[in-house]
Structure 1
Amino acid sequence: MKTLKHKKTITKRSSFPYKVIGLVLYLLWVQPFGANHLYASERKINIEVNDVTLIDVLKQIEAQSDYVFFYNNADIDTEKKISINMKDANIKDVLDKILNEYSYRINNKKIIITAKRQAPVRTNKISGVVSDDSGQPIIGGNVLVKGLNKGTMTNIDGKYTIDVPDSATTLVISYIGYKKQEVEIGDRNYIPVTLQKNDVLMDEVVVIGYGTVKKSDLTGAVSSVKTENLPIAANTSVTHMLAGQAAGVMVKQNSAQPGGGIEIYVRGAASTGAGNDPLYVIDGFPVTNKSVEPESGNRYEYGSRNPMNSLNPNDIESIEILKDASATAIYGARAANGVILVTTKRGKSGKPIVKYNANYSIQTIAKRLEMLSAKEFMNVSNEISYQKWRMDNELYPYGGELEEDALPYKGNPYSPEEIAAAGEGTDWFGLLTRDGSINQHNVSVSAGTESTRFLASLNYYKQKGVIKNSDFQRISGRINLDQDLGKYVKAGINATYSTIFNNNVPLGEGNAENSSLLNSALHYDPLVPVKDESGNYALSPTLGMIPNPVSMLEITDQTQTDRLLANGYIEATFWKDLKVKLNMGIDKNQGRRSTYLPKSTLYGKQEGGKANINENRTVDLLFELTANYTKQLFKERDRLEVLLGYSYQQENWDGLGAGSSQFFTDLFLWNKLEAGNVARPPVSSSKGKNELGSYFGRINYSLLDKYLFTFSLRYDGSSKFGKNNKWGLFPSGAFAWKMQNENFLKDVDWLSELKLRVSFGQTGNSNIGGNAYEYYEAGNQYVFGDAVQTGSIKSQLENPDLKWETTTELNVGLDFGFLNNRITGSFEYFHKVVSDLLAFRKLNSLMEVSTIADNIGATQSTGYEFSLNTVNLTGPFKWNTTLNISSYNDRWKERNPDVVLAPYEKEDAPIRAIYGCVSDGILQIGETPPASMPDLLPGQMKVKDLNGFDPNDGSKLLGHPDGKIDAADRIYLGSTDPKVIIGFGNMFEYKNFDLNIFFYGMFGQYVANSNRAKYGPSGCEYILQRQNYSKEVLEWWTPDNPTNKFPSGFYSAYYGGDDWLLEKVSFVRCKNITLGYSFPHKWIHKVFSQARIYVDVENPFIITNYQGLDPEMDSKGGYPSQRTYSIGIDITF
């Protein structure tokens, strides 16, 4: 209660306790005094006001009388405007006039104002059952009263009961995977409802650029992936899960470390200078996907990271990959490499739904490189030493000299007694590795009315890597809100914030003092102990520049990345055909890396301790305005959709770095840079900005629901382009023919869909960096006088004509569906040309910069894609299958004229071609060396003499052998690109059990066995310098083991034949096996609406002819791939 004169106040925030108190006060203060209307009727007042608030009128009445007003703020509108002119009037007459919308009572000198008592709303109780088209009850279906915030859910038997007011006319029934249905209430009290399943092909809605479309109305090449079919357990990002899931998409993992980098190629990788990353669009926000993780500031690499790690995979509803020009041209200068649209989950109308899922995983190294044990190392060293003595002295079988004529053999490096006492030695790799683990928790809450829908989620993900000190931790949260602001306006927000913490270890392929942790471990002498007698980390007596592997665990290297990605929209509907939408957002990324190399490490000791702090930050701002007009024409026979839009996006970035060394203690790490004692501590900073302004439009026209036309156009202006080429135009057109709707096919019962698609258009690749502009580098030091001076030097020349790379693409597709869409799929053929490649042209000048960025050359790609989805069995036992097959060929079309090709290289060769000599077996004892290799020794690799240089023109080939081995004998061996990529999955359901098995594979790619080249039987005489090798050297050629598998340890790189380290690889990897069990609803319905437990194995096995560790990730000293065992639970409240 609130009074204008009394000091006692009860605000509108009162709830049940305050209502009780108010009632007690009313009984104590008001009722004992009885009613006194006589005074009110006799007292006269004058009121003359115009358009003033009700509260002011009440104040005037109180000023002219002894009355005091009591009311609840929630019951009356005190700001209501009043106009009244009454003179010498009774108070009751005035009150009747100004309080006609309320009730009031006069007791003594108190006037109590209350809201008018509403007549009770008459309701009817309606019940029914909701079932599917097979008669099975639908559990948890939503039943809403249309137009009211009132609803219920079906029970375990599909039954519902709901109180419906007399004014209600319609019920809305919905369930995931089924068509929403509206039913008239009429005079019925029992309403059964049968929901029809959404047609997988015809009614599925697919997200496209700036809109959605029914899958049956697509004119472009789009692959759609639903995350409900993807195993999320052990995946840090959604990009990890895409391998093999979509035709035309190749996923390449650069590093198996926690949160490791991923490369995704959509229809090949045809750009040679501007990158091949697709454009990511998250809930309508085109993101740069640029990593903000800074460099370490020291000599060690840390592997690559995936910028998509910030996005919680559990939040994602679907992923669409736009592949051809018709689908991607709406994104213009950034769409040449395809567009990946990520749509997150949103709230739905109905009761609150709380979902919680958790999983725990154990990770083991899938396959490790087996190195020589101490005993094996000593025996091989003795063998190499002895064979080297025989070779140096040209003894049999390396020559004709007799052993008694040779210099005396000094003896083996290791005696039999030393070998017997050696044992296994130090397992450096084992000391650095462990079993990893993953712990993940995710909770989401979604709810909504017909006008308000929201979803909020929290995610915690922690991974302990299989290499010690390598960890990944993510904490993220998301809020999605959609609000109807009346009938014609709605608004919403999408916001996610994440914090990622990484502990890093030194990785990479560096050698000697730049060796990574694993590279050092694999090469390190197994006879060296971890620490020496003084307690310091021991060093190899002959390879002292390679750091002790275990000492590198002392390095502290931490990264924190924070990301805020948020956008809001407001959409207004004008008339019923025109919608205008404003979308604004921000993507703020900040990465900080702090490293310290203590003096207990080799490099840290040289630097006296070395600390670095580096920060990078990017802030992207987005403003978009679109208008979408939709109209049914000619008695709804045709349909027209027109999209017009404007977009402005600004990318800002800056960076800052500082470091120091020569610390008197390691205790400070990087927290006291001023404690370093270095004369010129390194500092750096950077800043920049890119802007993109765009106008775009699209027209879709459906004629007779048979012929579909799409035309799109985008006009992009970018600050990255040269001043003479600021704007680019990117058009596309597409046509689709729904043949199943033609008279000659519509009566074919087994044909569900047959649609032919043709598209042609252009897109651009604006990822050309800052190469259009002139740059100067600061910090270049030179000596002037007696001091070191800091200056600046030109590092890049301006090219005002530099522009985007242009991709021109033709696509032909055929979509099909048979047997009521139990068999669906598509076939695609594409041909694209990438012109105006970013390259560097040589200058004929004596300037400090001898090259300039330019648009030179072209490539071309041709490929095929096939997708198939089948429903094999239905009923109690269900079985679905998915299959996709892709093939592409990236080749040169036009070369940079400044690049001089070798005689054996072809102008139109594959972009990632491999050239080399061809081996011809190992020269055996007693075999005559080839005439082209007269000095070849037994155990060394023979090389085929295939060609020679023209003696009259050294740039041309003879076309026949010339009796010697040189570069003319090199030929095209193959390409690192696979010939075929496949994905194959089977999903089984029986009663409450589900089983999902998924495979993907690649065929026909050439892979260099880099571990064999570095740690295997090639030049293994370095073992005499106490550098370890893999167990493969036990199978190399020796006079006592004249094998043809591996050459001897004295294999010469020049005579070796490049192809023996190259393997034509095919593999099929079992990506995941997931087995789940869903608890019957009758067991859990008192607490949960759904509950499921599952176990999952990721990367359980691989079928391959590759002899290395992993055909996808086999870099020298790279982070090992893992096998992951998971257990998890999904529950819904």
Structure 2
Amino acid sequence: MKKNPYCHKLHYCSLQKLTLKLLLVISILSYTSATVYASNNTSTSIQEEKKITVTGNVTDQSGSSIPGVTILVKDSSIGTISDIDGNYTLSNVPQGSVLVFSFVGMKSQEVNVENNTEINVVLESEFIGLDEVVAVGYGIQRREDVTSSIASVKAKDFVKVPTPDAAQLVRGQIAGVSVITPDANPLSTSQISLRGVTTLSSGSGPLILIDGIPGAINSVSPNDIEQIDVLKDGSAAAIYGTRGTNGVILITTKKNKGEIEPSIEVNSYISTQKIIKKLPMMTTAQYREKVASGKPGAMDQGADIDWVDEILQTPFSQTYSVNLKGGSSKTSYIASFDYTSNEGIVKRSKVDMIFPRLNVIHRMFDDKLKIDASVSGYHRNYGIPYNNGVYQNALIYNPTTPITDENGNWTESAREMYENPLALLNETKGENKITNLRMYSAVTFSPIEGLDIKYLASRETYYHFSGYYETKQHRSNVIMGKNGYASRTTNRSQNDLMELTAHYKKLINENHSFSVLGGYSWTNNNYQSAFMDNYDFPSDDYSYNNMGLGAALKDGSAGQSTVQNENKLVGYFGRVNYNFKSKYYVSASVRYEGSSKFGDDHKWGTFPAVTVGWNLKDESFLNGVGVLTSLKLRAGFGVTGTEPGSPYLSLNQLNLGGYGYYGGEWVNLLRPGTNPNPDLRWEKKEETNIGLDFGFLEDRISGSIDVYKRDTKDLIWGYTVPVPPYLYSNITANAGSIRNEGIEVALNLVPVSTQDLIWNSNINFSSNRSELIALSSGKYKSSGYADAGNTLAPIQQPTHRIQEGEPIGNFYGYKSIDIDADGHWIIEGEDGNPKPIVDQQPTDKKVLGNGLPKAYVNWNNSVSYKQFDLGVTMRGAFGFQILNMAEMNYAVPVNLGQGNIMEKAYDNVYGKRPLADDQELQYVSHYVQDGDYWKIDNVTIGFSPKLKKVEWIKGLRVYCSVSNLAVFTKYSGIDPEVNVQGLTPGTDDRYRYPSARTYTLGVNLNF
């Protein structure tokens, strides 16, 4: 029998089989209801006819069997579905009746029974395949029924790249979703931004749900993921209430449902990396030229060291993933185990991870009861986290300074922020161990056709232990006399979730389809942490494992602290979907949610949503448009909310402070620690989305266009208040608003499709503008702006300003327009006239650019020719600027006295002359550069040999790939892909871990 593509290619053995069973229930109900409208004569004639048993098999045009096909006796309630091999048996079939065969993605077919006891059917493909079933809030829908802005990426379309988290699997695949990897640190996770900045002080990341359970983007192995769905607009995310304001990412892991022989899948790859670009710091020879020319601060210490090369290594990373699955018609299972060891290009940056997972699904009582249970998690182990001073000091450390002195001790300087990078690497010890355990169980009861009652309970625990030690040879002792410093930190969090839902679907008279969802959700989050440190140890031998030995504890100089907080979230939610003839759609949902983080009068919020859709393709006025495959117009409106980060801002918080004389002795007094705000409430985001889905030439050309507007109101922000009546001058309150407007376009093309050669191409574009509308309200006033970011020492100025009426992300500083004859900056004053930098005033500062890209463009291509496949992903960001903090600090002659500087420090500025040797560091527009870029992000070549003589191997693919292959940009820094989150986007941190190019060789094996 042929390998079943509907289990493997179209992921039938995942969430889709549940959809098919629901479709069967709907179909049976619809035909039951339809009998009310059938003529009595027809009904009587069927009852009087002889009844037989019909068997058969259902296949597609290639001859592959199709499981889950709905087979119904027309105008009756008699029906069944085909099994895993496409076989079916249908009893009590009246002779002379008609069988209706239907399957999502296939054209329905009607067959007269007559006297035939065996009927085999070949179904033809339609344009909406089974793989177009997408996940929505608390359920699934066919793509053609979706009226919100939802994007879906299947495992077969993931970006084939070694990745520490799931986000990079869909990087560049979804319009409006930017996935940024700002460095090559193996401990870094991707930054995900969805439709711009919607909040000022709360988290900006989307809600991540893994099989319906909240989690982190790196808490599931990328090898375990079957599908990723993104709920982009407010109408799709509103059913998640306060958690959905930044969008929702639904991750569905691989599951096995149905009868299947045990099989093993092995995925493994090895990779290495190479630094993409080094900052052009002066070589030893160039540095000595400055010494010879008498440049201030240059000092020849006799050595010849490339400090950046000294801290780098050629890393080796490896991943091994084993997946075992099997099952009977009643019980199925899948077990997987992943091991990954990732090394970074900087020495001593390495992380080891394991991801175990077990999922079991069991059905009983004629499939009326289903139990879905899973245990998963990860263990992450690494040494000390990357010290961002290592790379920075490798750049600026004097290239003529020897690594060690004549006694073998590290060369050090007493100057702050100037440390021997190899000493930083080698004179610290430590370990970090993170264990995450996720357990859930879901019980689904289907007492009648069309009704599913589901109870889900889960617990996620997270434990992090950190130990850190600086030896007696560390700078902390050499310069500050710490004589050995140790610290220990532990963090533990526990997240409990319980949900009860009921879902009912029904089809009436083949024209009216509706579904109703109702549910209750309860979440409790608890966090605990403890910290202690000590120093002045008698020996390095104990490091952080005998904290009491340090003398600082006895002197009262050691530190210790503990923290615990807890919060609860409770929600009631419901949704109604209705469509008429699969032509007109309407959906409405509401969530009523309460949080313990808010004041007594504002603990509950209501989050409604409504969407409508119109399938124009089925209208009579488009019947003659032969090139048109699909055309649907949709519109939606939804409200979501945002919680603050801290759980106790609305309450009186007490601190110890000061002493009072009571009962004949001095006692430590309790006093209020903050201004409570019992009126603290939700931020609310109202979003309107209008979209158009289209397809032409049998979907050889297809895509979507979305236009949206999002207004976030009642922003949570810190405000200055008078004292009195307030105890303190600051309070966290609600005021102000942000507006986001944007457009997203996705275009899917199949330029070539032959028996041997298939070329799929995807292009998507998105543009967004985030603007601060107001920062004040009637009760809480502000100056209309707030500064954010910091250039750090020695400049010590904010980098950005958020201001009413201006887009978020604006750089704000002095606009340099020239240099004078002596090499000092000339800036544009408040009045627009030139003035010397020494006469600068805060009012001279201006908007210098914006760190948020105005547009993202992604182009993904996959080509398969016989047994070969090629994947090329490219992406770019346009219309934004980057603050090059490395050049601002290292491309200035005055810093030669602080260590090494860049070659360009002595280049002419504005075509005149170099900066003066005494021109101090300044934050000016000269260092705010255009950041536009286009990247060839990944190229993968694969080969799948045919192994007809090796029966026990079902599939084999070997591949090689290069990630971060090339970048086209005018930006002079090491990489234009920088942070785009929060209120300070576009800042190229001078401490950043370098970017790298990754080379990978891998194998996928099924047997």
Q: Return closer, same or farther for 1:746/1:1049 CA change in 2, 3 Å cut-off.
A: farther
Partner Cα distance (1:1000, 1:653) in 2: 39
Contact 1:384-1:1021 within 8 A present in 2 as well: no
1:219 alignment counterpart? 147
Query: Could you tell me which residue of structure 2 aligns to residue 578 of structure 1?
Result: 451
Provide the residue aligned with 2:931 in structure 1: 1065
SS at 2:896 equivalent:
helix
| Residues 180 and 152 of structure 1, relative CA distance in 2, 3 Å threshold | farther
Contact kept? 1:145, 1:168, Cα under 8 Å = no
The corresponding residue for 2:676 is: 798
Structure-1 separation of matches of 2:60 and 2:90:
29
Is 1:438 aligned to 2:322, yes or no?
no
TM-superposition CA deviations, 1:209-235 (whole Å, max 9, x none): 000111111111111122322235410
Q: Which residue of 2 aligns with 1:912?
A: 809
Distance 1:641 1:1089, change over 3 A: same
SS class of match (2:506): strand
Q: Within 5 A, what are the aligned runs for 1:358-373?
A: 358-373=268-283
In the alignment, is the contact (CA less than 8 A) between 1:233 and 1:359 conserved in 2? no
The Cα offsets for residues 258-312 of structure 1, whole Å up to 9 and x where unpaired, read as 130332121111201112111111111134x4xxxxxxxxxxxxxxxxxx32210
* 1:1101 is the counterpart of 2:966: yes
SS at 1:796 equivalent: coil
Q: How does 1:225-624 map to 2 (within 5 A)?
A: 225-287=153-215, 289=216, 308-349=217-258, 350-383=260-293, 385=295, 425-487=304-366, 488-508=368-388, 516-540=389-413, 543=415, 546-553=418-425, 554-605=427-478, 606-624=481-499
Q: Which residue of 1 aligns with 2:50?
A: none
Task: Give SS of 1:528's match.
Answer: coil
Task: Please state if 1:819 is matched with 2:697.
Answer: yes
Distance in 2 of aligned mates of 1:214 and 1:868: 20
Task: Check the 8 A contact 1:773/1:796 in 2, yes or no.
Answer: no
Q: Is the 8 A contact 2:308 2:395 kept in 1?
A: yes
Q: 1:531 to 1:329 in 2, by over 3 A?
A: same
| Map of 2:872 onto structure 1 | 997
In the alignment, the residues of structure 2 paired with residue 312 and residue 1049 of structure 1 have an alpha-carbon distance, to the nearest angstrom, of: 53
Aligned 8 A contact 1:844 1:850 in 2: yes
Q: 2:691, 2:704 within 8 Å by CA — same for their partners in 1? A: yes
Aligned mate of 1:671, from 540, 545, 563: 545
Q: How many angstroms apart in 2 are the aligned matches of 1:1092 and 1:1121? A: 29
How far 1:970 moved relative to its partner?
3.3
Deviation at residue 436 of structure 1 after TM alignment: 1.4
Alignment RMSD, CA only?
A: 3.7
Specify the code of the residue in structure 1 equivalent to 2:1001. I
CA gap 1:866/1:582 in 2 versus in 1, 3 angstroms: same
Structure 1 residue identity aligned to 2:271: S
Task: Out of 473-482 and 641-650, give the one that drifted further.
Answer: 473-482
Asked if 2 retains the 8 angstrom alpha-carbon contact of 1:528 and 1:539, the reply is no
Distance across 1 between alignment mates of 2:102 and 2:355:
31
Q: Which amino acid aligns with 2:419?
A: P
- Partner of residue 1008, structure 1: 883
Query: Structure 2, unaligned stretches of length 5 or more?
Result: 1-54, 72-78, 94-98, 788-800, 979-987
- Cα distance change of structure 1 residues 760 and 531 upon mapping to structure 2, 3 Å threshold: same
Per-residue deviation at 1:617? Answer: 0.9
Contact 2:738 2:771 in 1 (8 A): yes
Q: CA offsets per residue over residues 398-418 of structure 1, 9 Å max, x none?
A: xxxxxxxxxxxxxx967xxx7
Deviation at 1:793, TM superposition (A): 5.6
CA distance in 2, matches of 1:381, 1:179: 81
The CA deviation at 1:774 is 3.9
TM-score normalised by L of structure 1 = 0.74
User: Does the 8 Å contact 1:763/1:806 carry over to 2?
Assistant: yes
- Secondary structure in structure 1 of the residue aligned to 2:673: strand
Q: How far is the alpha carbon of 1:718 from its aligned partner?
A: 0.5
- What's the offset of the Cα at 1:804? 1.2
1:884 aligns with 2:781: no
User: C-alpha distance in 2, partners of 1:239/1:245?
Assistant: 10
Deviations 1:990-1032 (A, max 9, x none): 000000000111001110111111211x2x223135x111222
Task: Using the TM superposition, name which of 895-904 and 1109-1118 deviates more.
Answer: 895-904
Structure exhibiting the larger radius of gyration computed from Cα positions: 1
* Pairwise CA distance, 1:167: 10
Q: Which moved more, 1:180-189 or 1:686-695?
A: 180-189
Q: 1 CA distance for matches of 2:760 and 2:285?
A: 54
8 Å contact kept, 2:772–2:802: no
In 2, the alpha carbon distance for the partners of 1:533 and 1:619 equals 53
Of residues 491, 505, 517, the one that matches 1:643 is 517
- Classify 1:150/1:905 alpha carbon distance in 2 versus 1 (closer, same or farther; 3 Å): closer
Residues 310 and 422 in structure 2, CA contact (< 8 A), matched pair in contact too: yes
Q: How does 1:861-880 map to 2 (within 5 A)?
A: 861-875=740-754, 876-880=756-760
Distance in 1 between residues matched to 2:534 and 2:586, nearest whole Å: 63
Match in the other structure for 2:1000: 1126
Aligned residue for 2:617? 740
Alpha-carbon offset, residue 974 of structure 1: 2.1
Q: 1:825 to 1:165 in 2, by over 3 A?
A: closer
Alignment partner of 1:713 is 2:585: no
What corresponds to 1:207 in structure 2? Answer: 135
The amino acid that maps onto 2:765 is I
SS at match of 1:1125: strand
**What TM-score, normalized by structure 2, do the two folds share?**
0.83
Residue of structure 1 in register with 2:824 after alignment: 940
User: For the structure 1 residues 710 and 141, does the alpha-carbon distance in structure 2 shift closer, same or farther, using more than 3 Å as the test?
Assistant: closer
Q: CA deviation at 1:505?
A: 4.0
Moved more, 184-193 or 898-907: 184-193
Q: 1:1092 to 1:178 in 2, by over 3 A?
A: farther
Closer/same/farther in 2, CA of residues 940 and 189 from structure 1, 3 Å limit: farther
Aligned AA (1:332): G
For 2:105 and 2:318, the matched residues in 1 are separated by: 31
- Aligned pair in 2 of structure 1 residues 458, 142: CA closer, same or farther (>3 Å)? farther
Tell me by how many angstroms 1:142 deviates.
7.6
Alignment-mate amino acid for residue 1061 of structure 1: Y
- Letter matched to residue 919 of structure 2: Y
Specify which of 853, 862, 882 is matched with residue 978 of structure 1.
Answer: 853
* 2:534 is the alignment partner of 1:660: yes
Counterpart secondary structure, 1:310: coil
User: What aligned pairs does 1:90-101 form with structure 2 within 5 A after superposition?
Assistant: none
Give the aligned partner of residue 32 of structure 2: none
Describe the superposition over 1:895-953 as per-residue Cα deviations: whole angstroms up to 9, x where unpaired.
Answer: 2322354999863001211233333344xxxxxxxxxxxxx4333333335x43xxxxx
1:829 equivalenced with 2:707 (yes/no) = yes
Work out whether residues 149 and 450 of structure 1, in 8 Å CA contact, stay in contact via their aligned partners in 2: no
Structure 1 residue 432, shift from structure 2 partner: 1.1
How many residue pairs get aligned? The number is: 901
Cα offsets for 1:532-555 (capped at 9, x unmatched): 111111114x74763321111221
Counting only pairs closer than 5 Å after superposition, residues 1015-1034 of structure 1 correspond to structure 2 as 1015-1016=890-891, 1018=892, 1020-1025=893-898, 1027-1034=899-906
Q: Which has the higher contact order (CA 8 A, sep 6+)?
A: 2
Query: Matched residues in 1 for 2:689 and 2:962: separation?
Result: 38
Which is worse superposed, 360-369 or 713-722? 360-369
Q: What is the alpha-carbon distance in structure 2 between the residues aligned to residue 241 and residue 791 of structure 1? A: 55
Q: 1:493 to 1:902 in 2, by over 3 A?
A: closer
Amino acid at match of 2:964: N
CA distance in 1: counterparts of 2:399 and 2:728, whole angstroms:
49
